[in-house]
């Protein structure tokens, strides 16, 4: 089983790790130490809950996402 990377230098890299780039709100930036959660319309009945954290050193944690 391959080891998954959990921390990324850019928001785009973190989102790409879970194929979520197209669901991210256009223009949304994140502050250091911020957690951002939102429900994205992915065409399913109830959407997708996405949560991503930006560490105080600027790295982004692998996003957590669930179907609602």
Domain annotation covers residue 54: yes
User: Residues 20-39: pLDDT tens digits?
Assistant: 998 888 888 999 999 999 88
Domain annotation covers residue 16: yes
What is the domain extent for residue 43? Answer: 7-21+33-67
Per the structure block, which two tokens stand in for 5? 């990377």
Domain annotation covers residue 27: no
* Sign, CA torsion 40/20/49/59: negative
Q: Which helix (H) or strand (E) holds 27?
A: none
Name the pTM for this structure: 0.84
Domain annotation covers residue 63: yes
Domain annotation covers residue 12: yes
Contact present, 52 and 36 (Cβ < 8 Å): yes
Domain annotation covers residue 49: yes
**How many folded domains does the chain comprise?**
1
With a pLDDT cut of 90, the percent of the chain lying above it is 53
Domain annotation covers residue 48: yes
């Amino acid at each position: 089983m391959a080891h998954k990377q959990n921390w990324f230098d850019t928001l785009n890299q973190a989102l790409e790790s879970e194929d979520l780039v197209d669901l991210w709100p256009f223009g949304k930036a994140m502050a250091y130490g911020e957690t951002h959660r939102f429900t994205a319309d992915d065409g399913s009945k109830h959407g997708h809950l996405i949560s991503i954290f930006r560490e105080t050193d600027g790295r982004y944690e692998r996003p957590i996402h669930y179907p609602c």
